[in-house]
Amino acid sequence: MLFSSIVFLFTFLPIILILYYLVPGKFKNPVLLAGSLVFYAWGEPFYIFLMILSILFNYISGLDIARHLNNRHEARKSLIFNVAVNLCILGFFKYEGFVLDSINSVLPVDIPYRELALPIGISFYTFQTLSYIIDVYRGNVRVQRNLLDFALYVSMFPQLIAGPIVKYADIQRQLRIRQESWGKFGDGALYFIRGLAKKVLIANTTGMIFTKVTSLGAADTSVLTAWLGCAAYTFQIYFDFSGYSDMALGLGKMFGFQFLKNFDYPYISKSITEFWRRWHISLSTWFKEYVYIPLGGNRAGTGKHVRNILVVWLLTGLWHGASWNFVVWGLYYGILLLAEKYLLYRVLERLPGFLRHVYSIVLVMIGWVFFFSPTLGSAVQYLKLMFGGGSGLADKEGFYLLVTNLVLWAAAVIGSTPAVHDLYERFVYGSGKNRIAVNCTVYGILFLLCIAYLVTETYNPFLYFRF
């Protein structure tokens, strides 16, 4: 069940909200937990048992570690066992096929395996449980003794399938004490509608352009067309992912929770270093706190710092997907970050802001080619099209995609910056008593546009395909 589905918007969400606000305070967590388990089971009826087992295992592990905190040796053994089990489960479901395919291609063997569907959200809830276990071991948080509250932390549906990765330390108090209010609910609704509009109105439509371009043969793809296809994906993944993150923040507010933001206009960045401070903030923070700093960070000399960066970005690439192109994608960013720190920082400081921005966005777009390509070979082929082209520098197809989608391109570019939001906020807060009416009108129209799109897409999926 997706946040942008008719079933979620008009069945699941109204029911869970009504039940949540009708029951007394002590029953709110059980209601939200039950709703979260139903939400997960809707899409993964079998893997709900895997999630429940993960909840029970990590709950017991947390208690065991807390019990042995005065004996660091025993606590460390329990921690290592827990981390190993969590990573083995994640590795089995996510990387079994990748590892065996790699072995079969290198060695003269043919190890058979059965390809399993990846449990939805397993990367997110595994990292969340690991953050809890590690922080209990470090003494940063108190162990959670209420099983239902811990289960809610792991399975909470607003951030379960697409993040953000919520650390237990950021939410432990809210699991027991939080304040619901109409003001917070209203803010949450605005966040949710804004995220829904990002996903439905921009991500879905730019995704159509990307699909069209990647369906063309190499001989029919010019340099212009290839770059437009890459630009379409660049916007699609941002508005899709940040849209879901906004919806998650909004849903959290509706239930009284406050999650940290996951995106901060990454496409306005003027360096790759800045880009990764703004993109998928919760993942970058997780790897920094639980991998990079424990390895020594940048305090152990240049050689070890280089090693630490490459290890983190190798793992970051693998976290996103089980194939060699994701490994290359991760190492690509690791090398760029090292280059900016040790070689390019003085050059970048002297460049005008506009050129720094062009430098950043071009490298990010090249990175997305490795990300969206099904194989490493197809990524190389697409990059060749971008820098050579199968049908020259430009063709009718490229001009058609550019001109007929000008409004969409403009909306995507402007929407990737804080300009429109800041201007709107100044206008609304300058409206005085009319602020609520203005917000209701504008966001009501946005919501209706999204619903119209979703209904049309459901019953006539080709209506918006203008190619």
Q: Where are the alpha helices (DSSP H) in 293-352?
A: 293-295, 302-320, 324-339, 345-350
Helix (H, G, I), strand (E, B) or coil at 270: coil
Mind spelling out the 3-state secondary structure of 41-107?
HHHCCCCHHHHHHHHHHHHHHHHHHHHCCCCHHHHHHHHHHHHHHHHHHHHHHHHHHHHHHHHHHHC
Contacts of 333 (CB under 8 A, 6+ apart): 272, 276, 313, 316, 317, 367
CA distances to 387, 438, 466 from 448, rounded to whole Å, are: 41, 15, 22
Distances in whole angstroms, Cα of residue 409 to Cα of each of 67, 209, 429? 57, 11, 29
Q: Which residues are catalytic?
A: 320
The DSSP output letter for 300 is S
Q: How far is CA 157 from the centre of its chain?
A: 14
Tracing tokens 């709110």 back to the chain, one arrives at: 28
pLDDT in tens, 15-59: 999 999 999 989 999 999 999 999 999 877 889 999 999 999 999
The span from the CA of 467 to the CA of 209, in Å, is 9
Question: 322 φ, ψ to 5°?
Answer: -100, 75
Contact 369, 234 (CB under 8 A): no
Residues 6+ apart with CB under 8 A from 211: none
207 Cα distance to chain centroid? 17
Distance CA 48, CA 151 (A): 12
Q: Specify the 3-state DSSP secondary structure of 383.
A: helix
Cα–Cα distance, 254 to 267 (Å, whole number): 29
Residue 409 phi, psi dihedral angles, 5° rounding = -60, -45
Q: How confident is the model over 216-259, as pLDDT tens digits?
A: 988 889 999 999 999 999 999 999 999 999 999 999 999 999 99
Tokens of residue 461, six digits: 């999926």
Q: What is d(CA 307, CA 303) in angstroms, rounded to the nearest whole number?
A: 6
Q: Residue 120: what pLDDT?
A: 87
Which stretches in the chain have pLDDT values below 50?
A: 461-467
DSSP 222: -
Q: How far apart are CA 86 and CA 83, in angstroms?
A: 5
pLDDT tens digits, residue range 402-451?
999 999 999 999 999 999 888 888 888 776 667 888 888 999 999 999 99
Q: Report phi then psi at 149, rounded to 5.
A: -65, -40
Among 177, 165, 168, residue whose Cα is nearest residue 62 = 168
pLDDT of residue 101: 84
**Do residues 263 and 245 touch, judged by C-beta distance below 8 A?**
yes
Alpha-helical runs (H) found in 139-254: 147-155, 168-171, 182-197, 204-214, 223-254
CA angle 359, 360, 364 (to 5 degrees): 120
Residue type for position 273: T
Q: Is the dihedral of CA 460, 6, 254, 447 positive or negative?
A: positive
Q: Which residue shows structure tokens 């700093």? A: 293
Q: Name the DSSP letter for residue 111.
A: -
End-to-end CA distance of the chain: 29
